[in-house]
Amino acid sequence: MSNPRATSLLSIAGQSIWVDNITRSMLATGKLAEYIHNWSVVGLTSNPTIFEKAITGSNDYDPQINELLAKGIDGEKLFFELAITDLTKAADAFKGVHERTGGIDGWVSLEVSPLLASDTKTTIEQAVALHAKANRPNLFIKVPGTPEGLPAIEELTYRGISVNVTLLFSPKQYLAAADAYLKGLERRAKEGKSLRVESVASVFISRWEKKVNPKVPDALKNKSGIAIGECCYQAYAQLYASDRFLALQDKGARPQRLLMASTSTKDPSLPDSMYVTALAAARTVNTMPEETLHAFFDHGKMEGLLRTDGGNGPSTLAAMEKVGCSVDACALELQQEGAASFVKSWNEMLAKIQSKSAAMVK
């Protein structure tokens, strides 16, 4: 018998592997199909930075851009046409997974405009419109878990639209997102509506090290991201064992799954699949950038699963607090920086599309 792939072992252990990337060539060349059939990949995520690189880094989108321009479609509307074209094809590629897993996996994600991060009403309106336009049962709409995003998450859940909550950086932020999801389900339950509205809550991991390492002694360096993941899993396990959720589960609800995001290591001196190995956890998701997926597939290791009591996470976060590194303050900064980074990528992408468009019509 050949040695089992680490990706297969991770899947068997109960963590769903999603790939954090989409390009038109990934769809056209069969690479995504290869990931699905041989690499245990059961979902896909995207964000403004990923699309900015995909659209401006190749000529694959030029024919459709030209076609849309000829119809008078430009700017943000043009981008969403490009993105939905890709994501509906990806959703169709995952249709078998979605059906086989009863709707637990097989999802793809489309993010609302990051320019709407502080506009609850328009976020809801755009999310509803994008969900209807894509018209796929396995499409998540990504909404940031910012204070302004939380009411949108509740309202969209209430309306039966599946949400991937993004830009979460701490147990406190995670629990706020989970609370919004449960409030949406509770409103549906009062009206006798189906509670089968899937959701995930995406906690960003690797950005913690860059934020925290300069502020802590050597003994705490490169430990904050894993500790955040451990403590979020502890909160996740406790919430979905609570009376509040069990009452909803009895009516057909399923947990909003915890998703480990940003799991590539930014420091080349660290093992390239460090976060994947450390944050393996049952009934969760890990969405990996392609390079991390390749690394884990090639030489990754399984070393056990996260504990529901948080393992070493609580003591690590307590030690950070003791040396003056506030978890909540850092998480807020990271969330604000993440939102700003998506806005920057969004504006750069629209500017490059505009430039490319101008060149095409000359």
Q: Which domains does the chain have, with CATH numbers?
A: 6-360 (3.20.20.70)
pLDDT, position 352: 83
Q: What is the Cβ-side half-sphere exposure of residue 124, based on CA atoms within 13 angstroms?
A: 14
| CA neighbor of 275 nearest in space, from 8, 10, 5, 3 | 10
For residue 322, indicate whether it is catalytic.
no
Which tokens belong to 294? 């390749």
CA dist., res. 301 & res. 305, Å (int): 12
Output phi, psi for 73, to 5 deg.
-100, 125
Percent of the chain with pLDDT over 70: 98
User: Of 7-21, 58-72, 229-243, which gets the smallest average pLDDT?
Assistant: 58-72
pLDDT bucket at 358, cuts 50 / 70 / 90: confident
Transcribe 338-362 into DSSP letters.
HHHHHHHHHHHHHHHHHHHHHHHT-
The size of the chain, in residues, is 362
The whole-angstrom separation of Cα 330 and Cα 340 is 15
pLDDT band at 361 (very low <50, low <70, confident <90, very high): low
Where does residue 356 rank: exposed (0-12), middle (13-18), buried (19+ CB within 10 A)? Answer: middle
62 burial level (CB within 10 Å; 0-12, 13-18, 19+): middle
Asked if residue 185 lies in contact with residue 246, where contact means CB atoms within 8 angstroms, the answer is no
Q: What is the distance between the alpha carbons of residues 204 and 123, in angstroms, rounded to a whole number?
A: 21
The residue type found at 128 is: V
At residue 202, the pLDDT reads 98
313-323 pLDDT, tens digit per residue, is 999 999 999 99
197-217 tens-digit pLDDT = 999 999 999 999 999 999 999
DSSP-assigned letter for residue 153: H
Q: Which two structure tokens, joined as six digits, stand for 107?
A: 């999802």
Q: What is the pLDDT of residues 269-278, one digit of tens each?
A: 999 999 999 9
Over residues 29-74, the pLDDT tens digits come to 999 999 999 999 999 999 888 988 898 888 899 999 989 988 999 8
Q: How confident is the model at residue 333 (pLDDT cuts 50, 70, 90)?
A: very high
Report helix, strand or coil for 16: strand
Helix (H, G, I), strand (E, B) or coil at 145: coil
| Whether pLDDT at 283 is above 90 | yes
How far, in Å, CA of 183 to CA of 198, rounded?
14
User: What is the pTM assigned to this prediction?
Assistant: 0.96
Average pLDDT of the residues in 123-138: 97
- The Cα–Cα gap between 152 and 149 comes to 5
Counting other chains too, the contacts that 26-34 makes at CB distance below 8 Å and 24 or more residues apart are 27/86, 27/89, 27/90, 27/93, 28/60, 32/90, 32/93, 33/93
Please give the C-alpha separations between residue 309 and each of 87, 209, 227, in angstroms, as whole numbers.
37, 23, 12
pLDDT at residue 362 in the model: 56
How does residue 99 score in pLDDT terms, banded at 50, 70 and 90?
Answer: very high
Half-sphere exposure of 132 (CA within 13 A, CB side): 8
CB atoms within 10 A of CB 269: 6
- The mean predicted confidence, pLDDT, of the chain is 95
Q: Would you say residue 102 has pLDDT above 90?
A: yes
Q: Which of the four pLDDT bands, split at 50, 70 and 90, describes residue 232? A: very high
Active-site annotation holder among 77, 89, 133, 142: 142
- Residue 153 CB burial class (10 angstroms; 0-12, 13-18, ≥19): buried
- Please name the residues in contact with 154: beta carbons below 8 A apart, sequence gap of 6 or more: 180, 181, 183, 184, 187
Q: What is the pLDDT of residues 343-355, one digit of tens each?
A: 998 999 898 888 8
Cα→Cα distances 219→97, 229, 323, Å: 43, 18, 12
- Strand segments (E) across the chain: 15-19, 41-44, 107-111, 139-144, 163-168, 199-204, 257-261, 284-288
pLDDT of amino acid 215: 94
Instruction: Please determine, for residue 28, whether its predicted confidence score (pLDDT) is greater than 60.
Output: yes
Judged against a pLDDT cut of 70, whether residue 2 lies above it is answered with no
Question: What pLDDT shows up at residue 1?
Answer: 36
CA distances from 23 to 86, 87, 163, 204, 325 (A): 8, 10, 22, 22, 38
What is the DSSP-derived secondary structure letter of residue 220?
Answer: G
